[in-house]
Copies of this chain bind each other. A is one copy, B any other.
Amino acid sequence: MCGMIGPMSPTPARTSSHAILAAARAVLEDDGLDGLTMQAVAARVGVRAPSLYKHVVDRAALIRGVADAVVADLEDALAISRPSAEPGDDLRAIARRYRAFVRANPAGYGLLFADLPAGAAPDPGRLALLARPILETVARVVGESDALPAARTFVAWAHGFTSMERAGAFRLGGDIDAAYAAGVDVILRGISGPVTPAST
């Protein structure tokens, strides 16, 4: 009873949106955004490039699909299942997982804040959801009213550090792992203090 799965077709689809998305993501990590051609993706799923247009509007939409999938995965990676009694530990855990994710998905993560061709940028609404666990955790440190700027300091640092590391920008030696761990603590100490500048 094939009919229970779907309508009979003279020629059933030889690929799917899901397979195309997975292939595109794999090609991106292997060969970078320039290597993410319609032909490369098509070859990976076993069809010719024109067939992709049955499932994808165009290359920009395919890139956006990959970017959105990366955002969703990062969201999962940052979710806090069981909050610790010490919010600072939760923020350290978020920082650790953030960096692990960027290292595991360097090219994919690079899509999130890059300037991409029109229509290829990830959904801003989904991207904004990433802030939630960070904002909540920071709020447990500094209180709701001061949480937004403090969370922005944290997320800017986490994004900046991991992006620069990904680009190979830390070239002056030293222990990068230690610098990252020290960074969270610098921010935790900084946001825990008074709101007025330290120098006055």
Contacts and interface: CB of A to CB of B under 8 A. Distances in A.
A174 B157 contact: no
Nearest to A167: B113
Interface in A140-180: 148-150, 152-153, 155-161, 163-164, 166-175, 178-179
A110 interface: yes
Interface residues of A, number: 58
A59 to B, nearest CB: 11
A114 B114 contact: yes
Nearest to A194: B189
A186 interface: yes
A88 B198 contact: yes
Interface in A107-154: 107, 110, 113-115, 117, 124, 127-128, 131, 135, 148-150, 152-153
A178 B163 contact: no
Nearest to A32: B115
**Listed residue (A86, A166, A169) with the most chain B CB atoms within 10 angstroms of its CB:** A169
